[in-house]
């Protein structure tokens, strides 16, 4: 696995095609790290000229902003923007819809304007340009349902890119009753990931997992490390060991034995 950093690139006088923004979950969460690695394997296979910020990356500030701490958010944003602008970053790809939304929508006002893509959008362009091919492999004919991350779907109207990739896997894409703009949240957004839910009758991730199990999938596909955690917990709660929760890049990487 080759993972160059922006600093190394700069030392060699090179400017990569795209910055891979790993994000905190992708860097530290054991489950999400697997998603990060799957994505890097695909980037390597496709010979994409990319780099990461490595230890120079810091939280985008999204959870702080959704918690109402605008100070902390803007401190984080301005620090990150300074780093990215110093490297003259033009294009950013990330596997986290929260980072994606913040970088794309909330950084430009503060001086950080980049062409930001979610990893599913980026993979779609690689596919369209013939730089990668997607085969079904072991997923051929499997029932796959896609859970729309709120910050990818409703927040940014990206519904088709992840679905197109799933269709390429030759799996059977089955939609939950509530999907796309009507998709139900997994329960992690708005900084809920970092706190216990308020008092209620049920956990949101369990409600959403029930939606998914209703369509009897083999796989619940996601495009967000937090949705992944929530849905995985939901499946555990339902004591269902057959259904797997996987990120779309994991499906693509696994299908090709990467």
Partner 1 sequence: MQYIPNILFAIILVLGITFFVRNVKKLIRNIKLGKSVDRSDNSSLRWKNMIKIALGQSKMVRRPVSGILHLVVYIGFIIINIEVLEIVIDGLFGTHRLFQGFLGAQLYGVLIGIFEFLAFLVFVAVIVFWIRRNIINIKRFLNKEMKGWPKNDGNFILYFEMVLMTLFLVMNATDTPFQEANVGNIISQYIAPIFSGIEAQTLHLIERGAWWAHIIGILIFLNYLYYSKHLHILLAFPNTYFANLNAKGRFDNLASVTNEVKLMLDPTADPFAAPTEEDANAVPEKFGAQDVSDLNWVQLLNAYTCTECGRCTSVCPANQTGKELSPRAIMMKTRDRVEEVGKNIDANGKFEDDGKTLFDTIATEELWACTSCNACVEECPVNIDPLSIIMDMRRYEVMEKSAAPQELNMMMTNIENNGAPWQYNQMDRLNWKDEE
Residues 6+ apart with CB under 8 A from 93: 18, 19, 20, 21, 50, 116, 117, 118, 119, 122
Q: Which residues contact 144 (CB under 8 A, 6 or more apart)?
A: 166, 169, 171, 172, 173, 174, 217, 218, 219, 220, 221, 251
- Determine the 3-state secondary structure of 127 from DSSP: helix
- Token digits for 177? 């009753």
Query: How far apart are CB 245 and partner 1 at their closest, in Å?
Result: 18
Is 17:125 a contact under the CB 8 Å cutoff?
no
Query: Does the footprint of partner 1 cover residue 250 (CB under 8 A)?
Result: no
Q: Does 86 bind partner 1 (CB under 8 A)?
A: no
Q: Does 231 bind partner 1 (CB under 8 A)?
A: no
Restricting to residues 2-21, which ones interact with partner 1 according to CB under 8 A? 3, 5
Question: Residue 57 gets which letter from DSSP?
Answer: -
Residue 198 CB, shortest distance to partner 1, in Å, is 4
- Specify the residue, 63 or 171, whose C-beta has the smaller distance to partner 1: 63
The residue among 147 and 168 lying less far from partner 1, judged by its C-beta, is: 147
Given 105, 133, 138, 240, the residue binding partner 1 (CB under 8 A): 105
Out of 94, 101, 209, 222, the only residue in the binding site for partner 1 (CB under 8 A) is 101
Point out which span in 106-114, 117-125, 163-171, 215-223 binds partner 1 (CB under 8 A).
106-114
For position 125 contacting partner 1 by CB under 8 A, the verdict is: no
- Tokens describing residue 193: 């990931």
Contact indicator for 191, 156 with CB cutoff of 8 Å: no
> Could you give the maximum distance between any two Cα atoms of the chain, in Å?
57
Beta carbons within 8 Å of 167's beta carbon, 6+ residues apart: 173
* By the rule CB under 8 A, 94 interacts with partner 1: no
Which one, 53 or 126, has the nearer CB to partner 1? Answer: 53
- Are 6 and 12 contacting, i.e. CB atoms less than 8 angstroms apart? no
Does position 197 interact with partner 1 (CB under 8 A)? The reply is: yes
The binder of partner 1 chosen from 17, 31, 71, 236 (CB under 8 A):
71
Q: Out of 195, 239, 241, 242, which residue is the one contacting partner 1 (CB under 8 A)?
A: 195
CB nearer to partner 1: pick between 26 and 217: 26
CB 137 within 8 A of CB 127: no
Structure-block tokens of residue 17: 């095609």
Assess 177 for contact with partner 1 (CB under 8 A). Answer: no
Shortest CB 122 distance to partner 1, Å: 18
What is the nearest approach in angstroms of partner 1 to the Cβ of residue 197?
7
By CB under 8 A, tell whether 121 contacts partner 1.
no
């Amino acid at each position: 696995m080759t993972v160059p950093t922006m600093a190394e690139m700069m030392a060699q006088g090179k400017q990569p095609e795209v910055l891979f923004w790993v994000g905190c979950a992708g860097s530290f969460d054991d489950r999400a790290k697997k998603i990060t690695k799957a994505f890097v394997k695909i980037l390597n296979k496709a010979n994409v000229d990319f780099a990461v910020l490595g230890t120079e990356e810091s939280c985008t500030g999204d959870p702080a902003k959704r918690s109402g701490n605008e100070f902390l958010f803007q401190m984080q944003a301005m620090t990150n923007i300074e780093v990215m602008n110093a490297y003259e970053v033009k294009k950013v790809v990330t596997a986290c819809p929260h980072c994606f939304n913040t970088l794309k929508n909330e950084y430009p006002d503060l001086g950080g304007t980049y062409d930001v893509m979610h990893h599913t959008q980026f993979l779609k362009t690689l596919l369209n340009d013939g730089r990668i091919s997607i085969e079904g492999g072991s997923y051929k004919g499997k029932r796959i349902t896609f859970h729309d991350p709120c910050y990818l779907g409703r927040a940014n109207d990206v519904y088709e890119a992840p679905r197109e990739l799933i269709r390429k896997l030759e799996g059977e894409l089955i939609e939950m009753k509530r999907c796309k703009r009507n998709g139900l949240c997994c329960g992690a957004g708005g900084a809920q990931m970092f706190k216990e839910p308020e008092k209620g009758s049920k956990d949101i991730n369990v409600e959403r997992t029930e939606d998914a199990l209703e369509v009897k999938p083999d796989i619940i596909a996601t495009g967000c490390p937090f949705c992944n955690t929530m849905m995985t917990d939901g499946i555990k709660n339902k004591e269902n060991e057959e259904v797997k929760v996987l990120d779309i890049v994991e499906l693509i990487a696994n299908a090709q034995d990467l």
